[in-house]
């Protein structure tokens, strides 16, 4: 196939393989009971996707809190004086 025959609109739908998500989960902690992850990415349609899996509610809540802190720090670094432009 040459580049003239390539049509990105005809690509098959991509789904993250369940085996990949399971392996990521296995790699995320050292023992049963403390594993979990949150994965955010953009799919082929440009839509944000979020996958999450946790051993238990405590891990899930910890991941959520870590994301919350991360997003707050990210926003604060974008607006070091506490806010964006005032219109």
Residue 53 lies in a domain: yes
Structural domain span for residue 32: 12-78
Residue 70 lies in a domain: yes
Report yes or no on whether pTM surpasses 0.85: no
- CA 45, 46, 52: angle at the middle one, nearest 5? 100
Give the number of other CB atoms < 10 A from CB of residue 4: 6
Whether 85 has a pLDDT exceeding 60, the answer reads no
Reported as a single tens digit per residue, the pLDDT across 21-70 is 999 999 998 888 899 999 999 988 889 999 999 999 999 999 999 999 99
Whether 87 has a pLDDT exceeding 50, the answer reads no
- CA 43, 45, 47: angle at the middle one, nearest 5? 60
CA distance linking residue 63 with residue 36, whole number of Å: 8
Q: How many domains does the chain have?
A: 1
Provide DSSP, 8-22: GGGSPPP---HHHHH
Q: What local confidence, expressed as pLDDT, does residue 39 receive?
A: 96
Residue 5 lies in a domain: no
Q: 3-class DSSP state for residue 33?
A: coil
Residue 74 lies in a domain: yes
Residue 39 lies in a domain: yes
């Amino acid at each position: 196939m040459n580049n003239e025959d390539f049509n990105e609109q005809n690509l098959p739908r991509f789904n993250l393989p369940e085996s990949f998500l399971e392996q990521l989960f296995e790699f995320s902690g050292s023992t049963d009971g403390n594993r979990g992850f949150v994965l955010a990415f953009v799919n082929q349609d440009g839509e944000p996707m979020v996958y999450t899996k946790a051993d238990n509610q405590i891990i899930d809540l910890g991941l959520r809190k870590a994301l919350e802190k991360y997003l707050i720090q990210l926003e604060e670094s974008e607006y070091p004086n506490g806010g964006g432009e005032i219109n």
